[in-house]
Amino acid sequence: MPDLNPLLQDYHLPPFSAIRAEHLVPAIDAIVLSSRAEVARIIASQRHHPNWDDLMLAMEAVTSRIDEVLSVIYILDSTTTDPRWLEASALATFRASAFTQELTGNQGLYDCYKALAASSSAALFDASRQSLLKRTLKKFRLAGIELEPAMQKKRVMLDHKIAGHQQLFLTRLEQANNAWRKHITDESRLQGLTPTLKARMAQKARAANVQGWLITLNDEIYRECMAYAQDRTLREEIFVAYNTRASDLGPHAGQFDNGPLLQMLRVSRHQKAMLLGYANFVELALELQMLETRDQVLDFIRDQIASSRTVFAHDKQVLEALGHELGLTGLQPWDFAFLAQIIRQRTCGVSEDDLRVYFPLENTLSQLFALVKQLFGIEISELYGFDAWASGIRLFQITEHGEVLGQIFFVPYRQNDGGYPYAISLRNRWTTAESRRVQPMAVLFTQFEGTPDETCLLGHRQLKILFHEFGHCLQQLLVGIGYRTKMGTDDSGIDSAEFFGQFFERWCDSPDCLAWLSSHFKTGASLPMAMARQQALYTDTQSSWEQAESLTLALFDMEVHGSQDDGRTIEHVFASANREVGHLPSLDTVRYANSFSHLVSGYEGGYYAYQWSEVLARRAFKRFEREGVFNAATGRAFREQVLAPGHSRSLLESVRLFSEEPSGRAP
């Protein structure tokens, strides 16, 4: 009798609605069992005379199958709190991860890859194949394949310990987020908040069966309260609750403390790096990035700090003057965003809500798709009648000259209070040994507030989120077209992957593009060009605080993972980084690091990538500024010189060629 497990059937679009908790572990077990047999067959056939199709592409078929099932499970995890599902998901993920570790610890498979790299045919491989083969061998070495058996066992134990601590960090952070609520019954305390934000707070109160308004530690709510709430004591209370989450301080001191956990992670990561022959964890983390050494990263960060000093000083002087004017004695951290917002509105004469009415989601999507058609020659159309995992999910298909290039699932609205915007790969593009093209798929989560039944209006920040995450999806679908090797965001370093999101954000800062994208949700009128220019000025005004925060976190990440033996605590390292940047206030009563989720989500030792990729993106976008932000020839050049090569050459080299700059220049 055939196995009816939906995860084991052949499908193009995943059968999301048919998947149940009882399907997960049996599916992974079956895939692992058949994959082990296939790997053994591959090793036996490739041991002496390996070739690309029968080794690299055959193994790609093995790993792609289990990777896609894991992606489907990960997506479904976000929609449920059912204990049966979560238990099955955790066990299935654990067994799949164990198999992945088994592969990178397989000496026979490693020997086949080494033999292929040493073969005469490898010298004739194109740049794409050589790059992928080199990265594959490096992943084996980073997994400890060349260690003695006892050391390999220790490395596996460290990986299990690190993974457990990372998951516990996120669990405690979620618990801390959910534990704090501020119930407001006196509307006067919400003076200054936008009608949009107050409506969301009222909706949360109704959902909790209480009257009035409910403030939570959702990132967007926190950010807007800090910027707009006129009640200083309310800002202070929210600031303290948010910045002491999962720590030994604040309203839930000690209940969900991530501090000791961070220190254990720091030690375990350092031990793993030392075991693999690195001086510290940063050196290990940089192995698959563009920058190669900790010193290079620190030089870059410190160059950014030095070049920002003048702006830092100016913004601080203007902000302190406004504080004095308003009678705010002894400025506190919860005053900075509030004062900066007033300065922006005074300087630019425009507010977030003034802009929001011109960017209803539906029209903005249509214009975004028209923009990429103009620039890159691709068509994006919506598909209907597909199997989705929740209501409100949409599916778009990308075609070129009638050929399907891939699909993007779009999840516009927040599915839980703690979610953040992101894009993930559901399936990478690659070509099988039989020359069958596997179409890529991506999933875009923007986490906007609202429901499909409401008119969703995007502020400038939400506009940037949409463009940023769409940039990641477009990279997934367009990177490496024309190459037979696997291409996808998963094969890029963090600093390369973040470039594409940062690059697409640049159109949101172009007055011409803002005016072209816009359509008033009631009248259909375009954003006046004067307002579009005001918005561009608004974005740059008092922006140094976000810049300083990003630089502080990047420097902290480098120091905390590169200075294990200097005796400093997590708090001391953060305070030192904050002092070196020298723009944000120093405060002993917060614990920023305890809720810094990038430390446990793949960006550890790589948070600098946001700054690095932004600098690189701004450099690349200068050509569009010279030649026109809607210039089709420039768009084709970007696609051909940056997107198409994928990992066949360095992103730095691709950007240099596109930017028409002399060689040797770095950000």
Condensed to tens digits (0 to 9), the pLDDT of residues 63-107 reads 999 999 999 999 999 888 889 999 999 999 999 999 999 999 999
Least confidently predicted of 250-264, 415-429, 630-644: 415-429
Q: Can you give the pLDDT at residue 269?
A: 96
For residue 419, pLDDT over 90 is answered with no
User: Can you give the pLDDT at residue 481?
Assistant: 58
Hey, what long-range contacts does 580-586 have (CB within 8 A, 24 or more apart)?
Answer: 580/305, 580/555, 581/305, 581/548, 581/551, 581/552, 581/555, 582/305, 582/312, 583/308, 583/312, 583/316, 583/544, 583/545, 583/548, 584/333, 584/545, 584/548, 584/549, 584/552, 585/331, 585/332, 585/333, 585/336
Contact yes or no for 474/500 (Cβ under 8 A): yes
Confidence label for 662 from pLDDT (cuts 50, 70 and 90): low
Question: Kind of pairing, strands 394-400 and 379-383?
Answer: antiparallel
If one looks up domain 356-540 in CATH, what number appears? Answer: 1.10.1370.40
Rounded Cα distance between 353 and 350, Å, is 8
The Cα 577–Cα 570 span in angstroms is 11
Q: What is the chain's mean pLDDT, rounded?
A: 91
pLDDT value of position 490 = 56
Segment 328-337, tens digit of pLDDT? 988 999 999 9
Do the beta carbons of residue 352 and residue 460 sit within 8 Å?
Answer: yes
Confidence of residue 24 (pLDDT cuts 50, 70, 90): very high
Its pTM surpasses 0.85: yes
* pLDDT value of position 484: 46
Q: What is the pLDDT of residue 492?
A: 66
Show the DSSP H helices in 188-332 as ranges. Answer: 195-207, 219-228, 232-243, 259-275, 281-285, 294-325
Question: Number of C-alpha atoms within 13 angstroms, CB side, residue 596?
Answer: 24
- pLDDT, one tens digit per residue, over 161-179 is 999 999 999 999 999 999 9
Q: Which helix (H) or strand (E) holds 551?
A: helix 544-562
Helix (H, G, I), strand (E, B) or coil at 655: helix
The percentage of residues in the chain with a pLDDT greater than 70, rounded to a whole number, is 96
Q: Residue 320 pLDDT > 90, yes or no?
A: yes
pLDDT (0 to 100) of residue 244: 96
- Output the pLDDT for position 432: 74
DSSP 248: S
Portion of the chain with pLDDT greater than 90, in percent? 77
- Give the amino acid at 373: K
Cα separation of 621 and 412, whole Å? 27
Q: Which long-range contacts (CB under 8 A, 24 or more apart) does 277-284 make?
A: 280/561, 280/562, 280/563, 280/564, 281/561, 281/562, 281/564, 281/604, 281/605, 282/558, 282/561, 282/562, 282/605, 283/562, 284/142, 284/605
Amino acid letter at 273? A
d(CA 650, CA 652): 5
Q: What number of other Cβ atoms are within 10 A of residue 253's Cβ?
A: 12
**So what's the pLDDT on residue 444?**
95
Interacting residues of 270 by C-beta distance below 8 A, sequence separation 6+ = 280, 281, 561, 564
For residue 166, the surrounding DSSP H or E stretch is helix 149-179
Query: What is the chain's length?
Result: 667
| Distance of alpha carbon 400 from alpha carbon 438, whole angstroms | 16
Q: What are φ and ψ of residue 412, in 5° steps?
A: -70, -35
What's the mean pLDDT in 286-292? Answer: 88
Contacts of 98 (CB under 8 A, 6+ apart): none
Give the residue-averaged pLDDT of 186-202: 93
For residue 332, give the 3-state DSSP assignment. Answer: coil
Q: What pLDDT sits at residue 304?
A: 96
Beta bridge partners of 403: 400
Residue 147 identity: L
Whole-angstrom distance, CA of residue 420 vs CA of residue 411? 12
pLDDT value of position 438: 84
Average pLDDT for 183-201: 93
pLDDT in tens, 622-641: 999 999 999 999 999 999 99
Instruction: Give the pLDDT confidence of 60-72 residue by residue, as tens digits.
Output: 999 999 999 999 9
Question: Please, which residues bridge with residue 442 across strands?
Answer: 408, 425
Confidence of residue 573 (pLDDT cuts 50, 70, 90): very high
Quote the tokens at residue 236: 């202070």
Residue spans per domain, the chain:
6-146, 180-243, 356-540
Is the pLDDT reported for residue 338 higher than 80? yes
Alpha carbons 564 and 403: distance in angstroms, whole number: 52
| CA gap 149, 90 in Å, rounded | 28
Tell me the pLDDT tens digit for each residue of 495-535: 888 999 999 999 999 999 999 999 999 999 999 999 999 99
Q: In 3-state terms, the chain is what percent helix, strand and coil (to 5)?
A: 65, 10, 30
Q: Which CATH code fits 6-146? A: 1.20.1050.40
**What span, in angstroms and rounded, lies between the C-alpha atoms of 107 and 664?**
39
The arithmetic mean of pLDDT across residues 219-238, rounded, is 95
Q: Does this chain's domain 6-146 share its CATH topology with 356-540? A: no
